[in-house]
A and B are shown apart, each in its own frame.
Chain A
């Protein structure tokens, strides 16, 4: 080992690659921040210094970028695979740098000023060629290098046979992605061989591999490595993507590692033909600038939110899809002036206000059950849309028409405020989502009937019998994943019968397939999703399927082998008078 040498031409490819990738990242960073709308940018700066968000930033930077907690949670094998490579590599770089300080001056060679800085750049990456280290460091470096290689071995197995590591479908890659992956896989074996044999060819191969990797990085999925950190900061700033290709969305596009965990999760993947409609591919199309395909996928998505739930990077693909939808200039400039003349028959009082919603008008059992429940509990209530009402605005929003939805939102707000109520009870989770997110109903508590019934039962106002029917509960997407209303319905059901488990529960529950979110899915494709969801619910052979959404109810009823009921109906049948 020649400790006198501080430079060799084989470091040049690496230095070149590093310089390129750093420049690209800095330019990209400025671009993303410049593209943010002014208000969002302000929010972003403020979030960096607000203690609460700053803490969340630190927590997630370590948890997500370094320790990959979310992948571990999702699938331990994948967690190890990813951590071995990413964390191992990170440690090698860090320890390399620490070593640099302990080895000062460089094995007797005096290096000054610029040369010193320049040397620092590549020295830790190729240190074994230039210097010898202490046994402790030697062990640590070898340990992490072997750890990386073990991760790569798993990755190779996953590529050949993904089911071994518990993944059914993986993202299909193009040439560039495959090539950079090959480069990544070979970097470390080359380094190991170079370090152990000191054959010059392997040092060159190692360095050229690094060049290939870093030059291709901005144009492939591996861009997620530098971008994720920025994305975490932006996410905690609490902003929403306003353009599907710019600013915050751009940060998300580059943060998507195309890992494909969302492919298995997506309810549409039940038909292999449709697995191309999943978020992983959507993000890819956006990155490649394929607007037409991105639009098609955005409009096919059911907005069930499961991809967001399982995403190890927490990419908010549903929001990006919504902004993609909004990007299409549909010639709908709704004229909702007719809404002006509508008034409510509701009298001014502080009674509970019940709003069934459009979909519930088609499931009279829910309305009847709710009336009976409220009467039995001695609640005074008014029924806002007993004779038909105005749409809540969510379907219009789902079509990307924010301004058009606003007219309905304003009219409903006016009607509700006129009633003087302090509590609004809704039967439809679709309404619930928009009421919670877009309505400004200060001083009015908004509840879905699952929460309301739970409250009535717990407060003793509503007395119910327990029977021995086995129920399984289906979490409607817009109640479960969107707001985490998981416990209330289950507690209610435990009070009236036996609750058994579905195969996929709570945040992992599978969309019924009826979602208003999708424009493009055909009845047949929806039926496949429904059948899959029903099979999942039937896992423990329940006597009845219970849900809390009129749309889920109607969708399941077509395909279920057992009775499908709304939770209100189940409770109604068990009321003690």
Chain B
């Protein structure tokens, strides 16, 4: 019920209204995307992550939690060096996903 006011803005992720268009589009071309076990290898090894908050693991979550703008901002830190793709234990083609997000 909507009383037309509330005490404070909610900080919840609004899962009911999350827009998954981008994530679903990525899933089509990169079915591996769902095999991520969030181990954080990509973040830990990230060359840019040495200096910035770049984290592919979180980026994937952002896309699934309606924070697409934040995700796209984060991508700008990436050097595309491919180290993450090399260490990913699930064989996810991270470089391609990063490029696909921005296409």
Contact = CB atoms under 8 A, between A and B. Distances in A.
Judge A-B direct contact (beta carbons within 8 Å). yes
Given A395-B80, A395-B81, A332 B51 contact: no
A222 B55 CA distance: 51
Contacts of B47: 358, 388-391
B83 A358 contact: yes
Given A389-B47, A390-B47, A391-B47, A519 B103 contact: no
B76 A401 contact: no
A207 to B, nearest CB: 52
A113 B80 CA distance: 68
Interface string B71-89: 0100111111111001100
Interface in B48-90: 48, 50-52, 72, 75-83, 86-87
Nearest to A401: B80
A334 B98 CA distance: 12
B99 interface: yes
A554 B83 CA distance: 12
A349 B99 CA distance: 40
Most buried by A among B50, B72, B95, B99: B99
Most buried by B among A333, A342, A519, A523: A519
A341 B83 CA distance: 22
Contacts of B48: 391
A331 B81 contact: no
A358 B79 CA distance: 11
A290 B30 CA distance: 23
A87 B72 CA distance: 58
Interface in B11-60: 32, 45, 47-48, 50-52
A209 to B, nearest CB: 47
A395 B82 contact: yes
Interface residues of A, number: 35
Contact of B79 (A330, A362, A395): A395
Given A362-B87, A391-B81, A396-B80, A331 B72 contact: yes
B4 to A, nearest CB: 38
Contact of A331 (B45, B50, B102): B102
Closest 7 CB pairs of A and B: A331-B102, A391-B81, A391-B79, A523-B91, A519-B96, A335-B76, A330-B102
Interface of A: 328, 330-336, 338-339, 341-342, 358-359, 361-362, 388-391, 393, 395-396, 398-399, 401, 408, 514, 516, 519-520, 522-523, 551, 554
23 contacts: A328-B103, A330-B99, A330-B102, A332-B76, A332-B78, A332-B98, A332-B99, A336-B79, A338-B52, A338-B77, A342-B51, A358-B47, A358-B81, A361-B83, A388-B50, A389-B47, A391-B48, A393-B79, A395-B80, A401-B80, A522-B93, A523-B32, A551-B86
